[in-house]
Amino acid sequence: MYRTGSLWAHSNLPVDCHPDIITVAKPLANGYPIGAVLLRDNIAASMTVGQSDYDIRMSSVLLTLSDNVGTHGTTFGGSPLACALGYHVLGRLSDRSFVSHLVDTSAHLVNRLKALPSRFPEILHPDVRGAGLILGLGFKQEDGPKRVVSMARERGLLLLTAGKDALRLVPSLNIGEKEVDEAVDVIEDCLRSL
């Protein structure tokens, strides 16, 4: 949710590229156990879950859970606490100022990362991969990302690899420019040590 800079990764694609079914869990209630399945209307019409009807209002979206003869069950969906948390988290994440901050921070991170390949052309591929706050740096040698992850950890920065040849950055959505600068400074220092 908002990891790529918009609510869903497909949000910026043409409507005919949007999925018929979306599943979402962990981010919906900020880690509290919940799961949700979002369906196009024509698919949702065939889904039922139990004996009575419940309406759940989330912002401008009305979800109706029909409980006739249950053909779909759930482990982490529907509890009042989980739904309240999901509603709260979705509302906070959808706030225009939060989304604007996320987009600005992402642009700052991308700009800082784009400067690295010109400083380390023998180590890094020229392009920054990804979108929003799920980004990657491609390495020319497979051992590079793993070594940078290890060195960065020693300096207090947690990074991930993506396959054998990429360093993956997936910071918290509420990260600020100061933290971005600190992180990229650590990465740059690690690259100098390779």
Judged against a pLDDT cut of 70, whether residue 138 lies above it is answered with: yes
Q: Which tokens hold the place of 97?
A: 């100022």
Report domain 97-193's class.
alpha beta
Residue 75 buriedness (CB in 10 A; 0-12 / 13-18 / 19+): exposed
pTM above 0.85, yes or no: no
Phi/psi-derived region of residue 130, left when phi > 0, alpha when psi is between -120 and 50, beta in every other case: left
**pLDDT digits 0-9 by tens, 45-82:** 876 655 444 444 444 444 444 444 445 566 666 688 88
The order of strands in the sheet holding 166-169 is 124-131, 134-139, 166-169, 160-161
Domain-wise residue ranges, the chain: 9-94, 97-193
Quote the pLDDT of residue 3: 92
Give residue 99's Cα distance to chain centre: 13
Q: Which residues contact 60 (CB under 8 A, 6 or more apart)?
A: none
Instruction: Give the model's pLDDT for residue 76.
Output: 60
Neighbours of 15 (CB within 10 A): 6
Higher pLDDT, 11 or 50: 11
